[in-house]
Structure 1
Amino acid sequence: MKAIMGARTSRVAWLLGICLLVPCAGEAAPALRSDMVASLERLQARLGDGDPAVLAREAEAAAERLAGGNAADRWARALFLQIAATAEVERGNDVRAAALFAEARGIDGVESRYRRRWLHQEARLRLRAGQTEQGAALLKRWLESGEGAADDAWLMAQARADLDQWAAAAQWVDRARQASGVLPERWQSFAAAVYQRAGRNAAALAVLDVLLADDDAPADVWRRAAGLAQRLGERGRAAAILEAGRRRGVLTGETDLRRLIELHLAGGTPARAAEQLDAALARGRLPDDLDNRRLLARAWSAARAHDKALVAWREVAERSGRADDWRRLGELAYGWGRRQTVVEALQKAREAGDATPRDWLLTGVAAFEQGDVAAARRAFRAAREAGAAQAAAWLAALDDGQVVTTPAGAGER
C-alpha cells in the first residue's frame, strides 16, 4: 500500500507548477460561494489519498453540473476539471488528463495565467503519452510566451528528436544549454546524439569530451568521440582519445587496438603505429596474420625505418608469395640503396609472376652498382626486350665503358 501511495504522490508531484489550490484571497478571479469552495477543498484533499478513479468521476460530474452558468460557475468548473485532470494523472491516464486540462483552459473567462499553466501541463502530458506532434505544438506555444524554463527547452529538443527533426532539435538543445548554464548530466548523451544526427560534429565532440571526463564513461562514448574526431579530419586527436580509453582500461578489444594503430598510421605518427602493432603481435593481442603483417610493413615504411621496413616486407612477401609484395620490397630497397636486396627481391618477383620492364631495369642498375657487369648486361637486355626505353642507353654505356646518369627510377612501371 505504501508503494502504491508513493507512486501516486510521485505522479502528482510531476505536475509541480499547477495551481492545485483554490486561488488565494486577493487573486483576481470570480468570487465563489462558500459551499463551492468547501466542495473544491474536500476533493482536493483527497488527491494522492484514496481512489483516484472515483475522485476523477466526482470532479467531472461537479464540473458538468456547472456548465452554462455565470462567471463564478465557469471558474469553479475549470477548477473541478483541474482536480479531475490531476486525479487522472494519479491513475496514469495521461491522455485523459491532457484532455481535461484542454477543456479547462478553453472555458470562457478563465484568466490567461491559468490558461498558460494548463497549456503547459497539457503539453507535457501529451508528450509523455506519446502524442508528440500535438505536445510539441503546445509546448512551443508555452515557450513562446516567455515563461518556459530550461527543462521545457530540453523537452522540446526531445520532441523534435522523436520526430526526426534533427536540425530543429539541435537548435533547441542550444537554447536548453543556454538556459541551463551547465549542461545537465542527464542530457549530455542526448545532446551529443542530437548534434551528431544534425551534422554538427564539432559540437557533438565537445559534449562527448565532457562525458569522457567521467571515470565511468562507457566504451561506446570513447568510440563515438574518436569517430567524430576522425570525421572532422583530426586523426591525431582521434588516436589520442583511443589511447586514453585504453589507458583507462575501457577499450580492450582487438578492434579498438587495430583502429588505434590505423589512426596513428593515417594521422602522421606511423612509428607509433608500428611500435604498437609490433608489440601486439609479439604478445598475441592481435592475430599474427598476413593482414596485420602487411599493416606493420606499411607502418615501418611510412616511418622510414629502413631496416625494420625491409624486414617486415620480406616477411610479408615470404608469407604471401605474391609478385607484387616482392616487387614492393625491391622498390623500397632500391630507393634506400640496398642493392643486394633489390636483386634478390626482384628475382623472387619474376619467379612468382611475369616480370615487368622496370623489374629488369632495376635489377640491371643494382647489379651494375654492385660491380657485376655481366649480370647487369643480362638484365638490361631483358629490359630492352620487355620494352624499357632506358635499357638501350644502359647497354650502350656498358659497351663504351661509360656511366649512365639517367635515374632508373624514371623507367616504365
Structure 2
Amino acid sequence: MASASLQAQPALPGSFIRDLKGLEARLEQAPAEVLGKARRQAERLAAGNDADRWARALYLQLAAGAAARQGEHGQAAEWLDAAVKSEPAPAAWRQARRREAAFQYRAAGRTPLAVDRLARWLEATSAPPADECWRLIGWLTELERWESAATRLEALDEAPQGEDRRTLALTIYRQAGRDGEALSLLREGLDREASPQAWRRAAALAQHLGDPALAAALWEAGWQRGALSGEEDLRRMASLHLAGGTPARAAEHLERGLEAGVLASDARQRRLLARAWEAARDHGRALSAWEAVARESEQADDWLRLGQLAHGWGEAALAGRALRRARALGAEEAEAWLASLSGGAEQGAPPTGDQSESSVQTGA
C-alpha cells in the first residue's frame, strides 16, 4: 500500500517513512487506531512543503484503507479524492488512487461518483483493460445512461465477446435508440451455434426497423441452419415472407410443410397457402389452392374469394361456379359479382353444388 510508494519523488524524511510503515503494519489489527493517527497527520501536513503534502497524500491513503476496513466506504472514497488532488504526488500514484476511489464510491452505493472517477481513470490511461471498460459500461447501464453507455461501447477496440456482454450491448443499443447498431451486432453473432432466441430477436429487430425483407431473410437462414423448426416457426417464416415481398417463397414453405406433416392439413393452413399464392400472383396455383380451401370449408367467404379471383383473372366458368356457391351459402355480395360476368351467360350454368365439375388446372 503506502510503503510501496515511499521511494517515489519528492523524497520523504526518514521519520515520515518509519511512521507510515508502522501505521501500515497495524492496519489489519487496529484500523480505528490507524485511521485516527493517519487523519491527524494529514491535517497537520496540509499547509507544508512539497514533501509534506506528498506525505499527507500517503496518510490520506492509509486513512482511506482503514475506513474501508470498517465499512466506511464513502469516507474512504472522499479521502482518496483528497489524496488525488495532492499535486506533489506522482501522477501514476494519483491515477491509481482515483481508480480506488471509484470502487469505494461504488461500495458506498454512490454509483454516479463511481462512474465519474472510473471514467476519468480510463480517459487518462493509455491502454485501459477491456474489463475496466466493461465495468464502466455496466455501471452506466445501472444508471440508465444509455447514450453514454452506447458511446463507450462504440469506443471499444473489439466487438463484445460472450453471451452476457453481447446481451448487455444489445440492451444498451436498443435503449439508446440505436437499432441499426443493435441489428449489426445481432447479425455478427448469428452462426451455426446461435440459439433459436438469437435468430428470433434478429428477425424481430429487423422488422421493427421497417425491413421485413431482411427479417424474412434472417428467419429463412435460421430455418435452413436448423435453429428454427416446427409449426409456429414455419408459420412465422411464411408471414415474414409475405410481409417482405417474397410471397412465392412463403407458399413454397407452406406447401412443403403441409406435405411433410409439419403443418396440419386443415382449412386454416390451406387458406394461408392460398393467400400466399394469391400474393405471388401465380394464377393457377392460387385458384387451385382457393378451390381446395372452399371445398373443404364450405364457407361462403372462401367461395366468394375464389369467384372474385377467377373473375379478375379471366376464368369465367370457375368464377360463375364459385360465385353461385357463395350466393347459395349466404354471401349477398356474390349477386353483384355474378351480374358483372359478361352477358350474364354464366347465370344459367349448372349450380355449383355439383362437385363433379372440374377445377382449374395448376399453372393455368
In the superposition, the TM-score normalised over structure 1's length comes to 0.70
Summarize deviations over 1:229-284 as a string: whole Å, max 9, x none. Answer: 22233333222222222233322343322211111122222121111112222333
1:27 to 2:3 alignment: no
Distance 1:41-1:122 versus aligned 2 partners, 3 A rule: closer
Q: Which runs of 5+ in 2 are unaligned?
A: 46-51, 350-364
* Match in the other structure for 2:360: none
Deviations 1:172-192 (A, max 9, x none): 2222x2xxx212404332222
CA deviation map 1:28-59 (0-9, x unaligned): 35435253254256358xxxxxxx6x464454
Residue 204 of structure 1 deviates from its aligned partner by 0.7
Looking at structure 2, the residues matched to 317 and 126 of structure 1 have their Cα atoms a distance apart, in angstroms, of 71
Match of 1:81 in 2: 63
Moved more, 152-161 or 327-336: 152-161
Letter in 2 for 1:207: L
Match of 2:166 in 1: 188
Match of 1:105 among 64, 67, 81: 81
What stretches of structure 1 of length at least 5 have no aligned partner?
A: 1-18, 45-51, 377-413
Contact kept? 2:73, 2:107, Cα under 8 Å: no
Deviation at 1:143, TM superposition (A): 4.7
**Given residue 22 of structure 2, which amino acid in structure 1 is its aligned partner?**
S
Per the alignment, do residues 316 and 76 of structure 1 end up closer, same or farther by CA in structure 2, a change over 3 Å counting?
same
Residues 193, 128 of structure 1: CA spacing in aligned structure 2 closer, same or farther, 3 A cutoff? farther
AA aligned to 1:172 is: R
SS in 2 for 1:251: coil
Change (3 A) 1:329 1:61: same
Equivalent residue letter for 1:163: L
Please state how far the C-alpha of 1:315 moved relative to its aligned partner: 3.0
Q: How many residues align?
A: 334
Contact 1:102–1:118 (CA<8 Å) still a contact in 2? no
Counterparts of 2:177 and 2:86 in 1: how far apart (Å)? 47
Contact 1:261 1:277 in 2 (8 A): yes
Asked if 1:293 is matched to 2:270, the reply is yes
- State the SS of the aligned residue for 1:285: coil
Matched AA of 1:165: R
Task: State how far apart, in whole Å, the 2-side matches of 1:327 and 1:354 are.
Answer: 7
Paired residue secondary structure (1:66): helix
Aligned twin of 1:345: 322
Say which of 111, 124, 133 aligns to 1:132: 111
Contact 1:330 1:343 (C-alpha < 8 Å) held by counterparts: yes
Which string of whole-angstrom CA distances, capped at 9 and with x for unpartnered residues, describes residues 115-147 of structure 1?
443222222443466533232233344455566
**Map of 1:121 onto structure 2:** 100
Query: Does the aligned pair in 2 maintain the 1:132–1:159 contact within 8 Å?
Result: yes
Question: For 2:261, which of 273, 284, 305 is the aligned residue?
Answer: 284
CA contact (8 A) 1:120 1:138 kept: yes
Please tell me the residue identity of whatever aligns with 1:196: R
Q: List aligned pairs for 1:11-410, cutoff 5 A.
A: 21-28=3-10, 30-33=12-15, 34-39=17-22, 42=25, 54=29, 56-57=31-32, 59-64=34-39, 66-70=41-45, 71=52, 74-84=56-66, 96-97=72-73, 99-107=75-83, 109=86, 111=89, 113=91, 114-127=93-106, 130-143=109-122, 145=124, 149=128, 150-175=130-155, 177=156, 181-186=157-162, 187-213=165-191, 215-356=192-333, 358-362=336-340, 364-365=341-342, 368=345, 375=348
Distance in 2, Cα, partners of 1:98 & 1:335: 78
For 2:14 and 2:251, the matched residues in 1 are separated by 84
- Alpha-carbon distance, 1:343 to partner: 0.9
> Which residue identity lines up with residue 375 of structure 1 in the other structure?
G
Amino acid at match of 1:269: T
Q: Which amino acid aligns with 2:221?
A: A
Change (3 A) 1:254 1:76: same
Q: 1:183 to 1:265 in 2, by over 3 A?
A: same
Q: Is the 8 A contact 1:104 1:118 kept in 2?
A: yes
- 199-208 vs 136-145, greater mean Cα deviation: 136-145
Shift in Å at residue 332 of structure 1? 1.1
- Seen in structure 2, the aligned counterparts of structure 1 residues 130 and 205 have a Cα distance that, compared at 3 Å, is farther
What SS class does the counterpart of residue 243 from structure 1 fall into?
A: helix
2:96 & 2:304 partners in 1: Cα distance?
78
Contact preservation (8 Å) 1:98, 1:121 = no
Q: Distance in 1 between matches of 2:313 and 2:280?
A: 13
Distance 1:252 1:361, change over 3 A: same
The letter for the 2-side match of 1:117 is A
Moved more, 182-191 or 193-202: 182-191
Q: CA deviation at 1:354?
A: 4.4
